[in-house]
């Protein structure tokens, strides 16, 4: 059935799947339009905000203030939050199509990329994504244990996630105790014996993916010094050309900070944070757990801006007590929607989901599941705006969903025993978390179990 959607009598009904930044920016763009739009935002956890809550580091409170903007969006007429509903389990995408004219997938990238080296699965080898989720109190990871009893931590990758992981390992409990870090993580980190933290890049300092603010922070830690070898900061001609022609100053500023660290040398602080370059791990060794990492040294080849790491054959072995790979997130499929396994994204043309190159009417994507795990929170705004623009361009051609009464969906979920968490419900959980944090001087103490969040609703 094709009818005019987006009118008073026949609002455009949109199911947004995922409540992270891209979901909220998409909701904002949809609800700001002159058309009449209903946005129902589905989230598998009772808590909204995705990686802002479970990815942004606890000591980066300022970044999390973006939540205030999302709360304003959630107050808009036409917006509803349906938390604690897993699309693909509690309700399929096919079923959603009965209730919504548009399915907009904004559920991010929940998994991570592997290195594919021997020993990667030994105990003591972890992913940055699981460590981040653990210290942020994500319910799926609260039971994880990280063996912090060794002296040396090796983190592979030089993006901002690697920087977050390293900084959390470098900081003292004193520096973390007034953040919203999960208490289980704070307790475990307080017992940590790690003294040397290595952040290792396969390419050189001019190619490191971290941003200037994030690397500068390592110069301001209470009990940890950054250590950089001046020799490792020497640039090949192509890297010098990259810096000279760079449109943005990020890489230049990174190099300046690294040069400052190299010039300062290490003082007598208890912990050391080492930044190392041009090395790829080729094997993790150990008798039942991680003990050593074998690296192969690299050299850079290729044009400026396209330089790749090429193995030199020269190997070295480092002692290692705990190993993290931090080489990027990776999207996961949702049943009933095409998926590009290799890229970890839903195939799409500027947000219009495609199958074998053909657009599927009424199905869209935005955020990391659309473009891959790149960019900062704000990058998602333009990305979601693009997808929403296309939804409105397509509106006259969209087939209308048959079951338009919003109560029908809620009844169907209730019938399946799903306890849907609304935005007002979430605000109750939020208030409880904030008051739980007060005695310890924390902005909040997150509930790290879904059952505890739901209990908080019963208690009032
Ligand atoms: P990222 O920025 O893409 O960094 C990935 C890192 O992994 C790069 O250094 C990359 O090196 C390296 N890598 C990839 N494959 C590798 C391999 N096989 N062996 C060795 N190294 C490998 O990803 P991310 O750190 O996961 O961050 C994701 C996004 O979130 C980024 O846009 C980031 O800026 C953002 N974020 C921002 C903040 C913040 O603003 N504070 C915090 C966290 C995350 P190559 O360059 O050589 O590929």
Per-residue pLDDT of the chain (460 residues; tens, 9 = 90+): 546 899 999 999 999 999 999 999 999 999 999 999 999 999 999 999 999 999 999 999 999 999 999 999 999 999 999 999 999 999 999 999 999 999 999 999 999 999 999 999 999 999 999 999 999 999 999 999 999 999 999 999 999 999 999 999 999 999 999 999 999 999 999 999 999 999 999 999 999 999 999 999 999 999 999 999 999 999 999 999 999 887 778 999 999 999 999 999 867 899 999 999 999 999 999 999 999 999 999 999 999 999 999 999 999 999 999 999 999 999 999 999 999 999 999 999 999 999 999 999 999 999 999 999 999 999 999 999 999 999 999 999 999 999 988 899 999 999 999 999 999 999 999 999 999 999 999 999 999 999 999 999 997 5
Residue nearest atom 3 in ligand 1 by C-alpha distance:
328
- The ligand 1 atom nearest the CA atom of 55: 43
Pocket test for ligand 1, best of 60, 199, 209 (most atoms within 8 A of CB): 209
Which pLDDT score, from 0 to 100, does residue 460 have? Answer: 56
Question: Cβ(137) to ligand 1 under 6 A?
Answer: no
CA of 155 to the centre of ligand 1 (A): 12
**Ligand 1 atom at minimal distance to the Cα of residue 129:** 26
- pLDDT score of 246: 75
Per-residue exposure over 34-56, b if at least 16 CB sit within 10 Å of its own CB, e if not: ebebbbbbbbbbbbbbbbbbbbb
Q: Is 136 touching ligand 1 by the criterion CB < 6 Å?
A: no
SS3 label, residue 67? helix
Supply the CATH classification number for the domain 12-110+330-421: 3.40.50.720
Q: Which atom of ligand 1 is nearest to the CA of 203?
A: 47
207 lines ligand 1 (CB under 6 A): yes
State the distance between the two ends of the chain, measured CA to CA, in whole angstroms: 44
Nearest CA to 84 out of 320, 390, 425 is that of 425
- Of 280, 303, 335, 65, the C-alpha closest to 154 is 280
| 187/347 Cα distance (integer angstroms) | 42
Q: For atom 9 of ligand 1, which residue has the closest CA? A: 158
**Which of ligand 1's atoms lies nearest the C-alpha of 128?**
26
pLDDT for 19 equals: 98
| Whole-angstrom distance, CA of residue 42 vs CA of residue 46 | 10
Distance (Å, whole) CA 253 – CA 216: 9
Pick left, alpha or beta for residue 305 (phi over 0 → left; psi -120 to 50 → alpha; otherwise beta). Answer: left
Give the closest residue (by CA) to ligand 1 atom 1.
159
Q: Alpha helix locations (H) across 303-422? A: 368-371, 379-394, 406-415
Distance in Å, CA 156 to ligand 1 centroid: 10
CA quadruple 21, 27, 28, 29: dihedral positive or negative? positive
What is the four-CA torsion angle of 246, 252, 253, 258, rounded to 10 degrees? 150
pLDDT value of position 248 = 74
| Ligand 1 touching residue 373 (CB < 6 A) | yes
- Asked if residue 160 has its Cβ within 6 Å of ligand 1, the reply is yes
Report the atom number in ligand 1 closest to the C-alpha of 162. 25
Q: Answer whether 300 contacts ligand 1 (Cβ < 6 A).
A: no
> Minimal CA–CA distance to 199: which of 281, 119, 286?
281
Distance in angstroms (rounded) separating the CA atoms of residues 23 and 377: 11
Superfamily of domain 114-327: FAD/NAD(P)-binding domain (3.50.50.60)
Helix axes 450-459, 423-437, angle to 10 degrees: 100
Q: Confirm or reject: Cβ of 161 under 6 Å from ligand 1.
A: yes
Helix (H) or strand (E) holding 349: strand 348-349
pTM for this one? 0.96
Measure 70 CA to ligand 1 centroid, in angstroms: 26
Write down the domain spans for the chain.
12-110+330-421, 114-327
Q: Is 52 in the pocket of ligand 1 (CB under 6 A)?
A: no
């Amino acid at each position: 059935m094709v009818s005019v959607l987006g009118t008073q009598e026949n609002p455009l009904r949109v199911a947004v799947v995922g409540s992270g930044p891209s979901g909220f920016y998409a909701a904002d763009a949809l609800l700001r339009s002159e058309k009449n739009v209903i946005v129902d935002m589905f989230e598998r956890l009772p808590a909204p905000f995705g990686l802002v809550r479970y990815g942004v580091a606890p000591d980066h409170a300022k970044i999390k203030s973006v939540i205030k903007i999302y709360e304003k969006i959630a107050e808009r007429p036409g917006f509803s939050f349906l938390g604690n509903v897993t699309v693909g389990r509690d309700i399929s995408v096919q079923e959603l199509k009965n209730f919504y004219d548009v399915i907009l997938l904004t559920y991010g990238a929940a998994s991570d990329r592997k290195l594919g080296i021997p020993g990667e699965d030994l105990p003591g080898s972890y992913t940055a994504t699981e460590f981040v989720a653990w210290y942020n109190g994500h319910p799926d990871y609260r039971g994880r244990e990280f063996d912090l009893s060794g002296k040396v931590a090796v983190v592979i990758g030089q993006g901002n996630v690697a920087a977050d992981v390293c900084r959390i390992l470098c900081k003292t409990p004193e520096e973390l105790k007034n953040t919203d870090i999960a208490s289980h993580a704070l307790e475990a980190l307080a017992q940590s014996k790690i003294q040397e933290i290595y952040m290792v890049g396969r390419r050189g300092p001019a190619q490191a993916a971290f941003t200037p603010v994030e690397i500068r922070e390592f110069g301001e830690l209470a009990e940890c010094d950054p250590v950089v070898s001046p020799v490792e900061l020497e640039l090949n001609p192509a890297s010098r050309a990259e810096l000279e022609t760079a449109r943005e100053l990020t890489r230049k500023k990174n190099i300046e900070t690294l040069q400052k660290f190299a010039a300062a040398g290490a003082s007598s602080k208890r912990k050391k944070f080492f930044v190392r370059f041009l090395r790829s791990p080729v094997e993790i060794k150990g008798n039942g757990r991680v003990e050593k990492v074998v690296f192969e040294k690299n050299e850079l080849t290729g044009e400026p801006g396209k330089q790749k790491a090429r193995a030199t054959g020269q190997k070295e072995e480092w002692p290692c007590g705990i190993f993290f790979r931090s080489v990027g997130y990776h999207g996961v499929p949702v049943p009933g929607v095409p998926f590009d396994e290799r890229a970890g994204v839903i195939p799409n043309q500027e947000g219009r989901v495609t199958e074998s190159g053909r657009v599927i009417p009424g199905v869209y994507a935005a955020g990391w599941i659309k473009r891959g795990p790149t960019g900062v929170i704000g990058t998602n705004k333009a990305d979601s705006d693009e997808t929403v623009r296309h939804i409105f361009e397509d509106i006259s051609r969209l087939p209308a969903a048959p079951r338009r009464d919003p109560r029908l969906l809620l009844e169907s979920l209730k019938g399946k025993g799903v306890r849907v968490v609304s935005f007002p419900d979430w605000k109750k959980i939020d208030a409880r978390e904030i008051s739980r944090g007060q005695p310890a001087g924390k902005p909040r103490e997150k509930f790290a179990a879904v059952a505890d969040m739901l209990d908080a609703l019963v208690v009032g």
